[in-house]
Structure 1
Amino acid sequence: MSNVQLIIEERAADIGNFMVGRLLPFRQKRMVGPFIYIDHMGPVKLCERENFDVLPHPHIGLSTLTFLFEGSIMHRDTLGNAIEIKPGAVNWMTAGKGIVHSERTPEHLRDSELFMHGLQIWVALPKALEEMDPTFSHIEAKDIPSWKEGDLEFTLVAGEAFGKKSPVPVFSKLFMIEIKSKTKQKVNIGEHLYGESGLYILEGGIESDGNVYEAKQLLVAKDSTLCEFTIQENSSIYIFGGEPFEEERFIDWNFVSSSKERIEEAKQKWKAQEFPKIKGDNEYIPYPTPRF
């Protein structure tokens, strides 16, 4: 009997001047553990006349996790942070009661060819922390736990698993694990997982219960503790999840909350441009006009 409850295929989505592959939310599965939004960016080649420019925009009620495989992004926010995100590092920004940030190609790369490839993830906050003060952390790749078990290469991007803890300062019990393999072999890690779990295939594929699953598919498990499969050669996968929240979460544009009224308040506040502003940057993304 298969442990795969749901297969979610990447769906094209436009985030302004950039197309992504959307994985979450999905109509049949809005969240996996506390993970509420996942975009696969690229891989895409930007020529000298193209740049990655996501103008200042707001968030509430969530933490963002940016994880690049290739390329570089300059992050700026209303806390005064300005830092270049490079492959393997983790950018973790917690919006809480409200924050504004921008993501752009760094100035020193704006006239160069650039490859962009990575994951943009939102993690909902526990209800008691939805209105916390915003915070920001940047963890370099060298500080993220990585280890090998035979031919398998593991990285604990965020959370807790395998008796290890990532330095990313998460606010609920969760995990995000990278597994890479150059050879075909069995993987059994169910004893290390908890709550809900999803498996995203970035490259290569896996085999489970006689079925073969390919790149750009997200597999949601029926039971995270039964996570056993065969990983194909030259594969990269990401397993994420954790303990789900008791309360439903609502999402509207860049806002996440357990309260629809709180989202409406944030929406009106952004329309009136009453959020804090990034120093030296007067541009912004307007609240989107409904499409009929």
Structure 2
Amino acid sequence: MSNIGLIIEEKAADIGNFLVGRLLPFREKRAVGPFVFIDHMGPAELKDYQNLDVPPHPHIGLSTLTYLLEGSIFHRDSIGNAIEIQPGAVNWMTAGKGVVHSERTPEYLRETDKKLHGFQIWVGLPKHLEQSEPTFHHTEAEDLPEWEENGVHYKLIAGEAFGKKSPVPVHSKLFFIEIKTKDAQNISIGKDLYGEAAMYVLDGTVDIEGNHYGSRQLLIAKDTKLCEFGMSENATVYLFGGEPFEEERFIFWNFVNSDKERLEEAKVNWHDQNHDAFPLVPGDEEEYVPLPKSILNRK
């Protein structure tokens, strides 16, 4: 019997002036461990007149993880951080009771051709941290654990696995792992994982119990402890998962919480532009993403 419990095909989602491939949430699988939302951005070739511009928008009850493979994004937030995200680095912002941030093409790239490729991820917070003060942490690429074993290259982007720990300050037991091959390899890592697990095939193919899976597919494991697969040459996969929360997490627009009343409060506060709940973003105060009318009165 196959250890694959669900196969999710990447589906296009419009985030304004940019299309992304949405992996989570999915109607048959709302979360994998604490991971509640994953967008695969690109790969996109942007002309000199095309730029990423996501104006200030709010979050509650989650941590955002931005990880780029190509290109650059300039991050600003209401805590006061302003930093460029480059490939291999990790931006980890914990919204807690409320944060606002923007994501744009850096000024020095706005009139040149450029590329953009990476992941935008939301990780739910433990219930006792959902109303915490917002925080931000940037981890440079060279600070992430990387190693080779039997011709396979591993990188631990966030969390704990393989007896190693990423410096990204996560709030629950989770893992986000990059695995790359030059030659075809068989991988058996179930003993190193825990909780729930999913695999995203970026490049190449994987073979699981005689079945082949290609790129832009998300594979959900039935049993994390049975995580064994073959990888083709020049393949790249990402494994993510961890211990799920006891309580269900609800999502409305950019808000995540175990308490629906908190979601309603956040919707009203953002719609009314209550800057006590959602402060302005220094250096990016002139515009914001309005609350979609379609969700204003939706419970």
Does the pair score TM above 0.5?
yes
Q: How does 1:89-238 map to 2 (within 5 A)?
A: 89-238=89-238
Q: How does 1:59-98 map to 2 (within 5 A)?
A: 59-98=59-98
TM-score by length of 1: 0.99
Aligned partners of 1:185 and 1:173: how far apart in 2? 28
Q: Which residue of 2 aligns with 1:53?
A: 53
**What is the Cα deviation at residue 43 of structure 1?**
0.4
Matched letter for residue 293 of structure 2? T
Matched letter for residue 168 of structure 2? V
Structure 1, gaps ≥5 residues long: none
**What is the Cα deviation at residue 185 of structure 1?**
1.1
Structure 2, gaps ≥5 residues long: none
Aligned partners of 1:279 and 1:219: how far apart in 2? 40
Deviation string 1:38-65 (CA, Å, 9 cap, x unpaired) is 0000000110101011110000000000
Q: Which residue of 2 aligns with 1:8?
A: 8
**CA RMSD of the aligned region, Å?**
1.0
**What is the Cα deviation at residue 150 of structure 1?**
2.2
Q: Is 2:270 the partner of 1:270? A: yes
1:285 to 282, 289, 295: 289
Aligned partners of 2:110 and 2:235: how far apart in 1? 32
TM-score by length of 2: 0.96
Partner of 1:136, secondary structure, is strand
Matched letter for residue 290 of structure 1? S
Aligned partners of 1:185 and 1:234: how far apart in 2? 10
Matched letter for residue 280 of structure 2? K
**What is the Cα deviation at residue 280 of structure 1?**
3.1
**What is the Cα deviation at residue 182 of structure 1?**
1.3
Matched letter for residue 277 of structure 1? L
Is the CA contact 2:76–2:282 (under 8 Å) kept in the aligned structure 1? no
> Kindly, what percent of the aligned residue pairs are identical?
65
Count of equivalent residues: 292
Aligned partners of 1:290 and 1:42: how far apart in 2? 27
Partner of 1:48, secondary structure, is coil
